[in-house]
A = this chain, B = another copy of it.
Amino acid sequence: MTAGAESLTPAPLTPASMRRSRDVPALVERARDGDPRAVARLVTLVEDADPLLPEVARALARHAGQAHVLGLTGSPGVGKSTLTNELVRVYRASGLRVGVLAVDPSSPFTGGAILGDRVRMQDHATDAGVYIRSMSSRGHLGGLSAATPQAVRVLEGAGCDIVIIETVGVGQAEVEVASLADTTLVLLAPGMGDAIQAVKAGILEVADVFVVNKADRDGADATVRDIQGMLGLGERGPGQWRPQVVRAVAARGEGVDDVVAAIAKHRAWLSEHGQLQVRREHRAGVEVEQIALGTLRARIGSLRHGTALPALAARVAAGELDPYAAAADLLAGLAQP
């Protein structure tokens, strides 16, 4: 997550943005009332690292932890968007509000536009209880946008009961989405060699639910067997979750109820074992750390363009000062916000 942290550091407040700051609590209220434009505006503020970002975060704080956050990952073509669509259908049928963050440039939800424009899934286009947002990856390695944690907060603040983060599986992405989610789903398809890849990428450690999609195809049994075999190799204590393996044919809606049941089972396990709290505190810690690091990078950047660093660098180049002493000097200057 380090690479993208900088992009979450808001620019300094300007007179114009200070005027706009009066609107933030009102915007959050409108989002809670179900106004999709208010939700879209808040996510845009987050994506743009707007100077109002800390204020948005402040207004959203008390709504934290109200949604069950699902991470959904897997290789391209494995059926992530189809399954997401089906999950939205099932959850909406139970009257839950659902938010989707598609952090995947190849997602059909984005309609080819990867720069964060707001679009709706066709099936749910007229449903006010569903928010769908494609997030640009902002050049962030691993594909997961640095803005994603704050976007999750917006959707929680907007009253979503379920937030689905859909991200393309390229190894590191699974691990990252798992660090944001309460429940991580990894999608596989028969004959894609994904089971082996999953081991290599360390996905066995982060997946809470494996979904073998396209389970009507040849090789589905072998894929399920592979995963269960690999899961059997790892030792698990009595207090550890044993990842579920579920078959589905998302394109026909088959097995989706089983996926939802596995998610619910995991959620119940998390609560019973106090792990929901553990995961969320860990997640908040990573988030705070990333914001702090981004702020420090921005401060160092402004020193670079100011006079402190060039003056120190000239003394180091002249042999009057060693670089460690100069770095200590620089850090003393950073203490002031």
Alpha-carbon distance between A202 and B170 when the two chains are bound, in angstroms: 27
The CB with the most chain B CB atoms within 10 A, among A58, A320, A323, is that of A323
Contact partners of A135 in chain B: CB under 8 A:
none
* A61-B319, A64-B316 known; A310+B291 contact, CB < 8 A: no
* A287-B323, A326-B288 known; A316+B61 contact, CB < 8 A: yes
CB-defined interface of A252-295 with B at 8 Å, one 1/0 digit per residue? 00000000000000000000000001001111110111011101
- On chain A, the number of residues with a Cβ less than 8 Å from chain B's Cβ atoms is 53
Report whether B65 and A331 are in contact in the complex, using a CB–CB cutoff of 8 Å.
no
Alpha-carbon distance between A312 and B283 when the two chains are bound, in angstroms: 12
Distance in Å from the Cβ of A47 to the closest Cβ of chain B? 16
- Name the segment of A211-219, A236-244, A296-304 touching the other chain: A296-304
* A296-B331, A313-B282, A313-B284 known; A61+B320 contact, CB < 8 A: yes
Report whether A313 and B327 are in contact in the complex, using a CB–CB cutoff of 8 Å.
no
Distance in Å from the Cβ of A31 to the closest Cβ of chain B? 16
Is A225 part of the binding interface, using a Cβ–Cβ cutoff of 8 Å? Answer: no
* A321-B61, A324-B53 known; A284+B316 contact, CB < 8 A: yes
Distance in Å from the Cβ of A170 to the closest Cβ of chain B? 17
Report whether A54 and B325 are in contact in the complex, using a CB–CB cutoff of 8 Å.
yes
Distance in Å from the Cβ of A276 to the closest Cβ of chain B? 10
Q: Which of B54, B319, B321, B324 contacts A291 (CB 8 A)?
A: B324
Contact partners of A201 in chain B: CB under 8 A:
none
Interface SS of chain A: helix
Report whether A58 and B285 are in contact in the complex, using a CB–CB cutoff of 8 Å.
no
* A313-B281, A317-B65, A324-B54 known; A331+B287 contact, CB < 8 A: no
Is A309 part of the binding interface, using a Cβ–Cβ cutoff of 8 Å? Answer: yes
Contact partners of A337 in chain B: CB under 8 A:
328, 331
Is A314 part of the binding interface, using a Cβ–Cβ cutoff of 8 Å? Answer: yes
Alpha-carbon distance between A327 and B151 when the two chains are bound, in angstroms: 17
Contact partners of A296 in chain B: CB under 8 A:
293, 296, 331, 334
Is A127 part of the binding interface, using a Cβ–Cβ cutoff of 8 Å? Answer: no
Contact partners of A325 in chain B: CB under 8 A:
54, 57-58, 61
CB-defined interface of A199-235 with B at 8 Å, one 1/0 digit per residue? 0000000000000000000000000000000000000
Contact partners of A280 in chain B: CB under 8 A:
317
Alpha-carbon distance between A63 and B330 when the two chains are bound, in angstroms: 22
Is A322 part of the binding interface, using a Cβ–Cβ cutoff of 8 Å? Answer: yes
Alpha-carbon distance between A183 and B300 when the two chains are bound, in angstroms: 28
Distance in Å from the Cβ of A87 to the closest Cβ of chain B? 25
Contact partners of A313 in chain B: CB under 8 A:
281-282, 284-285, 288
A-B contact pairs, 6 of them (CB 8 A): A57-B322, A281-B310, A283-B317, A291-B324, A293-B296, A295-B327
Residues of A within 8 A of B (CB): 53-54, 57-58, 60-65, 149-150, 277, 280-285, 287-289, 291-293, 295-297, 300, 304, 309-310, 312-314, 316-328, 330-331, 334-335, 337
